[in-house]
Structure 1
Amino acid sequence: MKRPGLMRALVALFALITATAAHAEDGYDLWLRYRPAPAAEAAPYRAALGEVVVEGRSPTLAIAGDELRRGLGGTLGAPAADAPPVILGTPGSSPRIAALRLPLQAAGAEGYLIRSVTVDGRPATVVAANSEAGVLYGAFHLLRLVQTRRPIARLDVAEAPKVKVRVLNHWDNLDRTVERGYAGFSLWDWHKLPDWKDSRYVDYARANASLGINGTVLNNVNAKADSLTAPYIEKAAALADTFRPYGIKVYLSARFSSPIEIGGLKTADPLDPTVRAFWKAKADEIYRAIPDFGGFLVKANSEGQPGPQDYGRSHADGANMLAEAVGPHGGIVMWRAFVYSNEQPEDRAKQAYNEFVPLDGRFAPNVIVQVKNGAIDFQPREPFHPLFGATPKTPLMLEVQITKEYLGFATHLAYLGPMYEETLDADTWRRGKGSTVARVVDGSLFGHRLTGMAGVANIGTDRNWSGSQFDQANWYVFGRMAWDPYLSSRDIAGEWARMTFSNDPRFLGPVVDMMMGSREAVVDYMTPLGLHHLMGTSHHYGPAPWVDDLGRADWTPVYYHRADAAGIGFDRTKTGSDAISQYAPRAAAELLADEKNLLWFRHVAWDRKVSSGRTLWDELVVRYTDGVRQVSQMRRTWAAMAPHVDAERHAEVAAFLAIQEQEAQWWRDACLAYFQTFSKRPLPAGYAPPAHPLAHYKALRFPYAPGI
């Protein structure tokens, strides 16, 4: 028997499912979503921003125009017929822009102006720059103003990057695995390159250009020499061709022993003439294929990687050899300061300072030393690296980790903007008050022109690019702070949330607050009060503060927390390793006075009273527990946001927050169960004991954790 009512219902249901699927969001569009604005919100922008006019012919200018049309059309619909035009170009590409005599000197090579002007007797908005890349950056800025509903009447925006080299470091391997990658495989399909260029390469370039990122290191710092062979140079050149119109240069990590492995030499000694000739020839080969190749990133004499010290030479000897090879082509060398020697018994936190400060002034002008935000290894919290400010004759670039190797991988929500800001705002006191890390990074403290900031990427083949929706925010905030290290991480969180989800204030207030507190929650449930490196062996997944049997002491958590019957913490004062003396005296005093760093610098008795009035042991219990509580509150906050977010992305974030809450509880319980074996003290009244005995947590194994 036919049921016309049922059939109509099924047809309607199918149409609804189809429409929902067509409009479902998976995060692929990142912060460049360009979804239609409500009519009332769109009206003033439609009236002010009319036809997009590109003056000049080049791939980059065409991209800028297409992006503006795409963004304005998607957000606002068709422009009003009488709306003032948006004119894009440079004084060299546009006689009309040249006639405006705009003050572009301060914009430099990559900056831009966005102005409300009069052209041919009519109102217009002009996006002008000295370079085509600057025009592209300006186009994205204008779109950001529209996306975030900022006023655009009487525009007068002048922007220029404060940092010259703004690069992503991809720890991608040639087999497409990604070291510390939690978002799928590498974007770079090396097997199919150079003949097949995935369309995602263009979308990757668009996203980076929207932030002003102007470089990408394609391969892992734990490099293979094969990356410098002719077939892989050709593959890298194909990527460079794709990225070039977006203002992005490619760089390669260079394996120091390449002269032996692919050059047929018996040595890689940087002072050997045949080795120097190898690198000069290799640089010439790369620049023939990639004329705007950025240069080399090098990890040497660290964690078993080969380097100049293998031959009794210094880091400066090694870096300068490579600088000599790429210098004639305009290339640079980014030499990493993440070093610690197998033979060095000194506190690992001191080793980079000890090795690089004596070399100050000995590096070639096109060498920049790349320094992690802290002296250990991307921990949830570290004091700023003592090298910042300590090498006035050597430019330093800041290296931060965007991928969350030590902060819960992709499933833990941890917005890292406050971490970056905490480092950049830190005062080194090397030239008096206000000698911040940001002033080291932008070159203003010591007058350096070669400046840089690098972020270890969290990007992979996952549809949402970064493994989770909120991990996109860390890519975003890195790019914005690399452009301007003085920006507010809260303001950037608001930008990202508006562009990625909603401009509704009922959404923005709670979610930005949640983002701003999220990293502190991770610190509390993982490493409160200056504890560090308590993570599981190798994969760094989950708690393992008990590990004490690895190949070297400073790979083990017990080396860092030093818990015993008397107390806990690493004494880095004058009574211990004296690492604190590597800082300027005023900076050292501030670091020691800040309770956030307590156990980083001191071994503290369990019964010592801290600022809260509690004993250290009780305070640890409270902090660990409060970290879990904060994640529970994040879950409640996000649940209440369902009316403001599409169902697909809301469900993913909710599921990941549930994972985070479970794992925060695991961290809390495992660490307290272990540390209680030393403190011998009960938990404070009202605080639940760990759910399982210590043996349960110690028996857990994760041989296939991602990112190794």
Structure 2
Amino acid sequence: MLPLTSRRSDPPWGLLVGLLALLLCVADARAEDGYDVWMRYVHADPARLDGYRVRLGDVVAPDATQTQRAARDELRRGLTGFLGTAPRLHVAPPAARALLIGTPESSPWILPFRQEIEGLGEEGFLLREVRIDGRDALVIAAHRDIGVLYGVFHLLRLLQTGTSLDGLHVREAPRIKLRVLNHWDNLDRYVERGYAGRSLWDWQTLPDWEDPRYTDYARANASIGINGAVLNNVNADALSLSPRYLRKAVALADLFRPYGIRVYLSARFSAPIELGGLATADPRDPGVQRWWREKADEIYALIPDFGGFLVKANSEGQPGPQDYGRTHAEGANLLADAVRPHGGVVMWRAFVYAHEVPEDRAKQAYNEFVGLDGNFHDNVLVQVKNGPVDFQPREPFHPLFGAMPRTPLMMEFQITKEYLGFATHLVYLGPLYEEVLRADTHARGSGSTVARVIEGSLEGHALSGIAGVANIGDDRTWSGSHFDQANWYAFGRLAWNPHQSARDIATDWVAMTFSRAPDVVASVVGMMMGSREAAVDYMTPLGLHHLMARGHHYGPGPWVDGGPRADWTSVYYHRANRHGVGFDRTSRGSGSVSQYAPPVARTFDDIGQVPENLLLWFHRVPWQHRMGSGRPLWNELVHRYTRGVSYVEAMQATWDGLRGRVDAPRHQHVAAFLRIQRDEAQWWRDASVAYFQSINGLALPADEAPPPHPLAYYQALQSPYAPGDGR
């Protein structure tokens, strides 16, 4: 467990003899289980290191508030870990001043930097090397304590990754205001689409028992700039808003507050009926309006910095305003009015679809929301999934991005890998996030990227947000596997600045998590950067989507049909027959291309221009269609399936070559999961090839091995206890 430290004044420890800004070392010899995530703060033997060294002497830091003490504690923890000896922490400077942290209000030694921190807002910070009284020093300055804490984590990241402090001058502020984890956690500790054990929140023992993991969770989030947590599932239980459970949420809010994290709750729209005994939840009903105002007052009396509500309404059977003939805007504004006096927000999900609607499911959210642009109150964000269907291995960006200029749109990414192999497949999601964020909506001409939409800069919105469906549970690794920690980490870094490079983020994560040795970093980053594309290849190549088994979404199921609704089947999406395959969403088909700006629509509509990786998303294509490689579509499809398996085998070989360079427990754990991934990638390849060959009757390419079993074998495989769905 990460060591917890006293929040009181610190005893006079020995002098910190130096911080090393270039820390190159092989993996630590101690046994590790992944609990420390990327904050390992591993001791480095100075005798084995060379390069730039800077004497910091003592640390001068205020300790009057909980956040100030959190910053001091983190510095002490990190510096002690790096050097094996603790720094001397002071409130007032000794003769030798070396590291000064604080705000102009908390420390007179920060006053000279007041002008330099202008424009950084409440969460930004300045980190720079200075000369004071002829001595080298570092300053971490900010307007607010939370900015100082973010600056401390930034400094520790530089030290962990071996970055030189020569001439250091960093001014950082988040580009997005609300950076939130959505926990799909139920009150019984079951986590929907969770692959890391039970919920971290032990509702049974809260508020009396405050598990130390709650604080370590807050530290990890603060280290990457996440500032909000929705505690409960979007498929909400009204009891989450009851007095009993609100008192439990208070305990978590109190623990998170020093780390800049606000708590939010998913609100069940029918709560006035289920908790309040009302006959209706109609947003126009005065009694309903009064109930929500009083509920908000109750919550804010307990949690003054409560963030607000997240709502899933009129989707997948959830209650909502449409039950009463009202719009999504009327429903969202009902709750927005209730939290407005307290400074709260409402995050209203745009993930809506109904089986009664006969048209293309990919069109439904746009059709329901675009006409409401400008009707939402200014403390409402519409939370939009990255793609128009449902967190698939690859989707085009959602057409709502860029289509609602008068409404702040909040990105919703999935960190937990519901459709990407759960926790056992090594799939780094940074490239997926980057692909979506850099996509150009052309809403206001070229350069109108999705990142600019969600950060608010494209339309000048002051309110902005991004959410990630959390992959965190009570597993010792937090995320169910060592490499899935990278997806939590990448989400946080891109939430802070959506213009960053997924490769650079992976490089930092590997250096902090496994080793700073350049060859180890290069090898592991190489594995990670191609892993998402490999998963697309062995699962859903060339724009195919939603081919997973029914319900739990574990394993291949391209044959899935029937059931309660067509858009829960695979055949609805791939529409394969002996003539061709793919969903025609062109202007001649469902017309979903028309929901994009004209330059984007023209590209997607033209089979000669559409990117091949989205070909079958937008076009129905004959099996003999000639691809860019020169192969017919069928041959290319099989090639991609096989290529995905080969990439996993290459990752296995790379990881095996790192034996002895990564501590044995974690190396063995990852190696075992790669074996699972390799077997399941082969399963995906063989089952999919067998199915599509049964449809088109075509021979396999000469260089491709046939599936070892007939199609019926794969169709008969069942996984009734796959995690993440059901009890």
Q: TM-score when scaled to structure 2?
A: 0.93
Q: Which has the higher helix share?
A: 1
1:281 aligns with 2:288: no
- Please give the secondary structure, in 1, of the residue aligned with 2:638: helix
Q: How many residues align?
A: 689
- Decide whether aligned partners of structure 1 residues 517 and 219 sit closer, same or farther in structure 2, where only a CA change above 3 A counts: same
Alignment partner for residue 473 of structure 1, among 486, 493, 501? 486
Q: Does 1:648 align with 2:665?
A: yes
Give me the whole-angstrom Cα distance separating, in 2, the residues matched to 1:421 and 1:153.
Answer: 30
Partner of 1:597: 614
| Equivalent residue letter for 1:129 | A
Corresponding residue number in structure 1 for 2:7: none
In the alignment, what sits opposite 2:526? 513
| 2:11 match | none
Pairwise CA distance, 1:619: 0.5
The aligned amino acid for 1:262 is L
Matching residue of 2:192: 179
Instruction: Kindly provide the CA deviation profile for residues 664-700 of structure 1, in whole angstroms up to 9, marking residues without a partner as x.
Output: 0000000110111121111101211011100001111
CA distance in 1, matches of 2:164, 2:483: 27
Contact kept, 8 Å, 1:48 with 1:83, in 2: the verdict is: no
2:601 is aligned to 588
- Cα deviation, 1:68-120, whole Å, max 9, x if unaligned, reads 11101211333799985211100011111113444111211100001112345
* Equivalent position amino acid for 2:596 in 1: Y
For residue 75 of structure 1, what is the amino acid of its counterpart?
F
Q: Return the match for 1:344 from 332, 339, 357.
A: 357
Q: What TM-score, normalized by structure 1, do the two folds share?
A: 0.96
Secondary structure at the aligned position of 1:554 is classed as helix
Of 705, 709, 714, the match for 1:692: 709
CA distance in 2, matches of 1:43, 1:330: 51
User: 2:54 aligns to what SS in structure 1?
Assistant: helix
Q: Deviations over 1:157-201 (max 9, x none)?
A: 100000000000000000000000000000000000001110000
Q: 1:206 maps to which residue?
A: 219
Amino acid at match of 1:68: L
Q: CA deviation at 1:50?
A: 2.7
Unaligned runs of 5+ in 1: 1-19
Structure 1 counterpart of 2:262, from 241, 244, 249: 249
1: CA distance, partners of 2:602 / 2:437: 18
Moved more, 626-635 or 102-111: 102-111
- Distance apart, 1:551 and its partner CA: 0.4
Aligned counterparts of 2:710 and 2:265: Cα–Cα separation in 1:
48
Report the equivalent of 1:636.
Answer: 653
Residues 10-32 of structure 1, C-alpha deviations (whole Å, 9 max, x = no match)? xxxxxxxxxx9993100000000
Q: Which residue of 1 aligns with 2:561?
A: 548
2:83 corresponds in structure 1 to 76
CA distance in 2, matches of 1:695, 1:231: 52
Change in 2 beyond 3 A, CA 1:274/1:263? same
Counterpart CA distance in 2 for 1:45 and 1:290 is 47
Report matched runs for 1:199-598 at 5 Å: 199-592=212-605, 593-598=610-615
Quote the residue 1:66 is aligned against.
73
Counterpart of 2:44 in structure 1 is 37
Alpha-carbon separation, structure 2, partners of 1:409 and 1:80: 42
8 Å CA contact 2:195, 2:479 repeated in 1: yes
Give the one of 30, 44, 49 matched to 1:23: 30
Q: 1:591, CA displacement in angstroms?
A: 3.7
Tell me the C-alpha RMSD between the 2 structures: 1.6
Structure 1 runs (4+) greater than 4 angstroms displaced = 40-46, 79-84
Question: 1:407, CA displacement in angstroms?
Answer: 0.1
Aligned partner of 1:696: which letter? Y
Alpha carbons of structure 1 residues 44 and 98: separation in structure 2 relative to 1, 3 Å: farther
Other-structure match for 1:87: 100
- Aligned counterparts of 1:35 and 1:316: Cα–Cα separation in 2: 51
CA distance in 2, matches of 1:660, 1:669: 14
Q: Structure 2 CA distance, aligned partners of 1:494 and 1:100?
A: 32
- Aligned-partner residue type, residue 162 of structure 2: R
* d(CA) in 2 for partners of 1:591, 1:642: 45
Q: How does 1:124-203 map to 2 (within 5 A)?
A: 124-203=137-216
Tell me, yes or no, if the aligned pair for 1:91 and 1:130 is still in contact at 8 Å: yes
**By how many angstroms is 1:426 displaced?**
0.1
Is this contact kept in 1: 2:28–2:663, CA < 8 A? no
Q: Contact 1:185/1:460 (CA < 8 Å) preserved in 2? A: yes
CA contact (8 A) 2:98 2:135 kept: no
SS of equivalent to 2:407: coil
Cα separation, 2, equivalents of 1:253 and 1:274: 21
Is the deviation greater in 368-377 or in 44-53?
A: 44-53
CA contact (8 A) 2:30 2:663 kept: no
Distance 1:411 1:55 in 2: 44
